[in-house]
Amino acid sequence: MKCQVCAKKPVVGNKVIRTGTGKWIKKRVKVVRKPNLQKTTLLVSGQEKKTIVCTSCLKRFKKEGKVKVYLNQ
């Protein structure tokens, strides 16, 4: 999955395992680093729209006041 705003998606990288004091590389293991995606309801031009966004975009939208806030009553 990817963010519907900024298109941030999983990235493939290597986890490097070293020997001793860290001078020599013993082996590399493939790792998938996934973005922190959240399901939210955004206000887009006055209408509510359910989207999947990353937390960095969610933080920006909360500052702009475009996220629907649910109050526990």
**pLDDT score for 68:** 79
**pLDDT score for 37:** 95
The closest of 37, 16, 38 to 27, measured between CA atoms, is 16
- Quick: pLDDT tens for 50-61: 999 999 999 999
Domain layout of the chain by residue ranges = 11-64
- Strands, E, within 1-73: which ranges? 11-19, 24-33, 37-44, 47-54
Q: List the structure tokens of 25.
A: 């590389």
pTM comes to: 0.75
